[in-house]
Structure 1
């Protein structure tokens, strides 16, 4: 049994560390009446940090509008006819470093209850810095522009393929929107 735990724990820790997607984070006003939400307008305060590509911003906006339409929400013809405002914001998130594969050489000796070990890691390539963004979607009350619901998710962008980014953004916005309305 001890041997089983000795191998299982490191494997579970390794698999947990391999996760590349963060979880959706949500918060909401428990007094908000989400069942009355039918017509929306995109808030004019939506946007992104200066360093975010306009193509990324457009992908988020388009994905969000598809999710709203799929949820049977309709755009309001006039601002005063809205049940809720939708605001999105894209911010830069902390970059992560994807370490290149390494070749490890280990030496050790075991005798009785004493052991000595050493390992040397030799990089086989260059480290890759992953660019991450955080997508934040807010729902606001139209009268006072107070926040009623927020969902956010950090995703990793691909520096080489805009189509991959568009698909990643679509999945992220869908994942955020699946958390609305709160249970």
Structure 2
């Protein structure tokens, strides 16, 4: 019976952790800007220098943005129409799971049936660094920010399939550009 309870507890924790792995995205833009006028891009060097990631992840993030921008029909250029600024914000996060729910009837010690329902067992604590990836589009001629997208909920401590998760996160954020496509869905 204790083995079943432990398996049920483990399943509950795994299910809860899997539910927390989705990226929450949002975007905003300047409605007075003609988004169709932008055809070329490059990265905002000052912003890239401040990205708080190791160089390996920084290159992965930039490669993911390049892949998505190229897929959207943009061309990378030395004198671009728009600059891509990247920001990564990190904060410590703690999730607590438990105690678990248990219950049922069965044969107990002594004479007769025993049973009951209730809460019990240990708490499980998961501490990690949660990141928010911010992608801004800047107009270098007008010196304005005209599109802002972000995805929060990225577990920066998890190294499993990290490159794939970065690509997926960037794709989800940039799926909201241009905004008219999102409204038409």
Number of the residue aligned with 1:165: 162
Change (3 A) 1:94 1:151: farther
SS in 1 for 2:45: coil
Change (3 A) 1:49 1:88: closer
Q: Does the 8 A contact of 1:98 with 1:130 survive in 2? A: no
Number of the residue aligned with 1:176: 173
Residue 158 of structure 1 and its aligned partner are, at CA, apart by 6.0
1:83-127 CA deviation, whole Å, 9 max, x = no partner? 11111111114524253x543457xxxxxxxxxxx9543217x52
Number of the residue aligned with 1:115: none
What is the rounded CA distance, in whole Å, between the counterparts of 2:33 and 2:92 in structure 1? Answer: 32
What is the rounded CA distance, in whole Å, between the counterparts of 2:88 and 2:158 in structure 1? Answer: 20
Q: Does the 8 A contact of 2:21 with 2:155 survive in 1? A: no
Number of matched residues?
Answer: 153
Aligned pairs (5 A) from 1:44-83:
44-47=45-48, 48=50, 50=52, 52-77=53-78, 79=79, 82-83=80-81
Are 2:95 and 1:103 aligned?
no
Q: Structure 2 unaligned runs (5+)?
A: 1-14, 104-116, 181-185
The TM-score with structure 1 as length reference comes to 0.71
SS in 1 for 2:24: coil
Number of the residue aligned with 1:85: 83
Q: Does the 8 A contact of 1:158 with 1:164 survive in 2? A: no
What is the rounded CA distance, in whole Å, between the counterparts of 1:45 and 1:54 in structure 2? Answer: 15
